[in-house]
Amino acid sequence: MMDRKKRILEILREKNEVTAKELANVFKVSEMTIYRDIKQLEKTGEIIRKHGSILLNTKENKESKTVDTCPICEKAITRSHPYKIVIEDKKTLEACCEHCGFLLHKKYEDKEVSAITYDFITENPITAFNAYFVVASSAKPCCSPSVIPFSSKEDAEKFAKGFGGKVLNFFEAYNEIVNSTNRNIKSCCQPQTIKLSDLKKGE
């Protein structure tokens, strides 16, 4: 474990930029395992993440860090662990939250995708398809109806007891969001919508 993190840093010193997928191939471990390493390296401030890539936390890399926006609602992605979809093992897309993540799935419904979400309490990465989601609770960290992920059904049920909402599996939650927001995708996120072009104008 120690060694792998050290090796990751060595690789970064050589290549400057890698993806979790590449690292998973190098170490012959799952991407999930790599994400755990990355999370710790991020905590200690040794690396940063940008556009789904991993970079050393240097001044140059930091300054070139641009604001990513959600491809669905155009809101700036501020979460350190956004919902992540990998399309056909190549392209990584990040959404502001699970709500927009599901709408992103809808866009790529006939493609081979994997998706990673993060447990609301532990922040551990989970394969989204195995997660439980509390949909439409009174907690609204981002877009509504809100979708909050948990790795265990029990935790999701506990959360729903306190904050309301329905505990659903991936496909149930996906259907719920896709059907409830089809009419006007952007309206769910409107108050906090931001356009990068507007930001530039303000400078």
Using CB under 5 A, list all residues that contact Zn ion: 70, 72-73, 96-97, 100, 142-143
**In the complex, what is the shortest distance from the CB of residue 102 to Zn ion, in angstroms, rounded to a whole number?**
10
* Closer residue to Zn ion in complex, CB, 47/133: 133
Name, in order, each residue with C-beta under 8 angstroms of 26's C-beta and a sequence gap of 6 or more.
Answer: 11
**In the complex, what is the shortest distance from the CB of residue 30 to Zn ion, in angstroms, rounded to a whole number?**
27
Name the token pair of 104. 């992103």
**In the complex, what is the shortest distance from the CB of residue 71 to Zn ion, in angstroms, rounded to a whole number?**
8
* Closer residue to Zn ion in complex, CB, 5/140: 140
User: How far is Cα 73 from Cα 70, in angstroms, rounded to an integer?
Assistant: 6
**In the complex, what is the shortest distance from the CB of residue 53 to Zn ion, in angstroms, rounded to a whole number?**
21
The sheet carrying 132-135 orders its strands as: 147-150, 132-135, 166-169
Name, in order, each residue with C-beta under 8 angstroms of 91's C-beta and a sequence gap of 6 or more.
Answer: none
Q: What share of the chain is helix, strand, coil (3-state, %, to 5)?
A: 45, 20, 35
* Closer residue to Zn ion in complex, CB, 34/142: 142
* Closer residue to Zn ion in complex, CB, 25/192: 192
Name the token pair of 157. 């049920």
**In the complex, what is the shortest distance from the CB of residue 143 to Zn ion, in angstroms, rounded to a whole number?**
3
* Closer residue to Zn ion in complex, CB, 70/148: 70
Q: Mapping DSSP to helix (H, G, I), strand (E, B) and coil, where does residue 197 land?
A: helix
